[in-house]
Amino acid sequence: MATTEKMTLNMGPQHPSTHGVLRLVLELDGEVILKATPHIGYLHRGVEKLSEHRTYHQTLPLTDRLDYLAPMHNNLGYVLAVEKLLDIQIPERAQVIRTIMAEMTRLESHLVWIACHALDIGAMTVFIYAFRERETVMETYELISGARMTSNFFRIGGLSQDVPPEFEKKVRDFVSVMPGYLDQYEGLLTTNPIWLKRTVGNGVISAEDAIDYGITGPALRGSGVDWDLRRDNPYSGYEKYNFKVPVGEKCDTFDRYKVRLVEMREACKIINQALDSLKPGPVLSDYPQICYPPKENVYNSIEGLIHHFKIASEGFPAPEGEVYQGVENPKGELGFYIVSDGGNKPYRMRIRPPSFVNLQAIEKMSKGSMIADLVAVIGTLDIVLGEIDR
């Protein structure tokens, strides 16, 4: 009589579909996964430790490098947390531009997700189309900040600079054609029999389990939980915009795919509404102790020079206390928890990474499925390793 035994297989850290350096140790019975154990930490750079040794302004560029597919959203979470700690207000125009860029970032992140997710499952065409659209978002980043990925565009108290005049047209053109492109992706995937076979019924996690595992963002909404921080605990002026929060039913990879596609359409609507409300005005608050003065003041007035020198050399003291600010990152809830002891650096800064918490559920979602389906589960969780390892 034939006997079978369990096999242990190493997947990664250099597997082509691991989205970064993720290593999984699989326990297999034939081709069926009994247990998938993630091993992470290959990209650990000690961002939380570093931030304890840098002033509040100096910590900002580190946050770009967490979820490098959604840099502006990380900046947003961080500056909102510091602004909450300092209890300062920002100008209307800066807030609207922040929201526009946050939603552009959501589009970018979801475009990379659909491209890589489809490529992992074997649909190569979508990858090429989605990266074409992503390029426009990258050009917008470059237009306003000079950088394509690590934008570092927001500042505590507003923005680093105003956007150039061509910004509005560029964004409006993009969000007017984007729904058409989304129709193209849907045409390629939504009714594609191979896509359906690979995604329907794959990676099922019930709403109760998803909450128990702390899953947030589109992955949680795919399991039918109607919760979105932008609507339920609004920040950065999201209460002013009308948008729908899509919710799935069957808790599988296909429903999460549908949720993210609707989210992209809603992001276009939010951007359009925000562009309509964009009025001229200042983009940085006037708090001389906290915000950098305009360059012309630095060159032409002694006060400006002193303020610039003070902020650049020693930063600003923050009140003693602790704050937590969560934002709806494209991947889930990104939180910044800052403990201040009254000094010019955070005493402790904790980043609540959505991908890290979501990845934990992979063991539950892949149990009993085939090895090939594990790749679909990794894709549907939409993880980014820069943020998991920090």
The two beta strands, 332-340 and 321-329, are: antiparallel
Q: How far apart are CA 15 and CA 56, in angstroms?
A: 37
Q: Is 344 in the site for another protein (CB under 8 A)?
A: no
By beta-carbon proximity to another protein, the closer residue of 240 and 348 is 348
By beta-carbon proximity to another protein, the closer residue of 293 and 354 is 354
CB of 259 to another protein, least distance (A): 16
> Judged by CB under 8 A, which of 213, 238, 241, 316 binds another protein?
213
Q: For residue 8, which phi and psi values (nearest 5 degrees)?
A: -105, 130
Nearest in space to 67 (alpha carbons), one of 10, 109, 16, 39:
109
Q: Residue 211, exposed/middle/buried by CB under 10 A (0-12, 13-18, 19+)? A: middle
Q: Is 50 in the site for another protein (CB under 8 A)?
A: yes
Window 305-324: contact mask with another protein (x via CB under 8 A): ----------------xxxx
CB of 246 to another protein, least distance (A): 17
- In sequence order, what are the beta bridge partners of 292? none
Q: How far apart are CA 22 and CA 36, in angstroms?
A: 12
Q: Is 23 in the site for another protein (CB under 8 A)?
A: no
The one-letter amino acid at 5? E
By beta-carbon proximity to another protein, the closer residue of 299 and 324 is 324
The one-letter amino acid at 116? C
Nearest in space to 116 (alpha carbons), one of 69, 77, 153, 148:
69
Which of helix, strand or coil describes residue 19?
coil
> Judged by CB under 8 A, which of 70, 284, 357, 381 binds another protein?
357
> Judged by CB under 8 A, which of 31, 212, 249, 286 binds another protein?
212
Window 30-49: contact mask with another protein (x via CB under 8 A): ----------xx--x-x-xx
Length of the chain: 390
Instruction: Return residues touching another protein (CB under 8 A).
Output: 40-41, 44, 46, 48-50, 53, 84-85, 87, 209, 211-214, 216, 225, 227, 232-233, 321-324, 326, 333, 335, 337, 339, 341, 347-348, 350, 352, 356-357, 360, 389-390
